[in-house]
């Protein structure tokens, strides 16, 4: 009797939203349904799990979402989930709904939650969904390509006006601990200087002197890309945020300067081809792991292949910025 029991799996999105999360949700739901499972959608991440904010999904429930940014399941951050009481509530809700496993789409914080649930008997499989591309075990995270293209598009517009007025534009992009967005966007838009959280910098040497050198070659407009995570390092050098850096450039170089914080525009928008395809294939892979009874895994992309790792191992891994790429950016950004 027990062997024939229909399996119930669930899916949630957690942490910061990322374009392509919907493709992953859709893939999990359809893979589950096509393989005879009951599939539940948990709204608002772990907060919704503790509150039993759960609905049954079918193949048609996830129609018309592959091309939409954000996440139809909504996302949240929950401190309570990290407590013993919160975790116990979540486990109880899983038991009440007969949930044998959950696909958790989010960043490394969400994977820590998935690890803790797995340890308590609820199989979880993590799928990397974050625009920062900062998950150590993955070459690529869902949402990164779309966010990069959005940044490039926005900065191209800023560049048009910057060139017309012979200005310097200082642009802050997302990335609290990781500079992948800033580095790749900086290369794509031809930035004169790029400040990243992973690399020590000196404002005089790495910004002011670089602008001076570029001025000597005849250039009159400049883009400086700053990852949000460098705020403290700038502060230690007496510069308060991108508006402080813009004012400093204007004062020291007599170049009219403006600051732009791109902010949440970087998270939104219709996912790129890459994010739809990677989201779909990772969601399909994750659902198959759960359906075969495997949990405590993270799905990852390595050298264009989809693979999976033990969550404990994945969380221990570290990822560094590509210094050759950084050096190349400096050499050609003059
Ligand atoms: P992003 O990269 O977009 O920030 P994230 O998944 O890393 O995504 P977090 O806010 O770090 O985002 O984590 C999402 C949620 O995962 C948290 O609100 C919390 O409920 C849960 N979580 C985070 N860290 C832990 C932990 N150490 N143990 C258990 N649960 C955690």
CA atoms within 13 A on the CB side of 90: 32
Domain chopping of the chain, boundaries: 2-143+271-316, 145-267
- Each residue's pLDDT tens digit, 131-165: 999 999 999 999 999 999 999 999 999 999 999 99
Provide the whole-model pTM. 0.96
How far, in Å, is the centroid of ligand 1 from the Cα of 125? 15
- Each residue's pLDDT tens digit, 202-228: 999 999 999 999 999 999 999 999 999
17 a catalytic residue: no
Q: Which atom of ligand 1 is nearest to the CA of 116?
A: 29
Q: Which atom of ligand 1 is nearest to the CA of 106?
A: 6
How far, in Å, is the centroid of ligand 1 from the Cα of 45? 10
Res. 35: pLDDT tops 90: yes
Res. 3: pLDDT tops 80: no
Ligand 1 pocket check for 48: Cβ under 6 Å:
no
The pLDDT confidence band at residue 1, using thresholds 50, 70 and 90, is very low
CA distance 217 to 227: 26
Q: List the residue whose alpha carbon is closest to atom 31 of ligand 1.
A: 113
CATH class, range 2-143+271-316: alpha beta
How far, in Å, is the centroid of ligand 1 from the Cα of 111? 7
Q: CA–CA distance from 330 to each of 75, 171, 195, 301, 324 (Å)?
A: 37, 17, 11, 28, 10
Which residue in the list 17, 108, 116, 132 is annotated as catalytic? Answer: 132
The pLDDT confidence band at residue 80, using thresholds 50, 70 and 90, is very high
Please name the fold of domain 145-267: Rossmann fold (3.40.50)
- Each residue's pLDDT tens digit, 261-282: 999 999 999 999 999 999 999 9
**Which of 331, 319, 68, 333 is CA-nearest to residue 185?**
333
């Amino acid at each position: 009797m027990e062997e024939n029991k229909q399996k119930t799996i669930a899916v949630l999105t957690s942490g910061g939203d990322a374009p392509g999360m919907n493709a992953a949700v859709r893939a999990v739901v359809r893979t589950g349904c096509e393989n005879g499972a009951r599939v539940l959608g948990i709204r608002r991440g772990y907060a919704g799990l503790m509150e039993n904010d759960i609905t049954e999904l079918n193949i048609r429930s996830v129609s018309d979402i592959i091309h939409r940014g954000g996440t139809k399941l909504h996302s949240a951050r929950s401190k309570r989930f990290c407590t013993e009481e919160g975790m116990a509530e979540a486990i109880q809700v899983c038991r009440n709904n007969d949930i044998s496993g959950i696909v958790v789409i989010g960043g490394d914080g969400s994977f820590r939650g998935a690890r803790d649930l797995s340890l308590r008997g609820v199989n979880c499989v993590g799928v990397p969904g974050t625009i920062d591309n900062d998950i150590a075990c993955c070459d690529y995270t869902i949402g990164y390509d779309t966010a990069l293209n959005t940044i490039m598009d926005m900065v191209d517009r800023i560049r048009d006006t910057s060139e017309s007025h012979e200005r310097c534009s200082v642009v802050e992009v997302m990335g609290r601990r990781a500079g992948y967005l800033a580095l790749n966007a900086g290369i794509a838009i031809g930035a004169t200087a790029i400040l990243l959280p992973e690399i020590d910098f000196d404002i005089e040497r790495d910004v002011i002197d670089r602008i001076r050198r570029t001025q000597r070659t005849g250039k009159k407009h400049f883009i400086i890309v700053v990852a949000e995570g460098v705020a403290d390092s700038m502060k230690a050098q007496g510069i308060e945020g991108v508006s402080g850096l813009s004012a400093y450039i204007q004062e020291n170089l007599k170049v009219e300067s403006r600051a732009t914080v791109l902010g949440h525009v970087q998270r939104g928008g219709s996912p790129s081809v890459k994010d739809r395809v990677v989201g779909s294939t990772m969601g399909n892979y994750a659902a198959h792991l759960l359906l075969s009874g495997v949990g405590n895994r993270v799905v990852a992309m390595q050298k264009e292949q989809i693979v999976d790792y033990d969550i404990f191992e994945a969380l221990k891994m570290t990822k560094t910025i590509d210094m050759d790429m950084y050096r190349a950016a400096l050499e050609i950004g003059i």
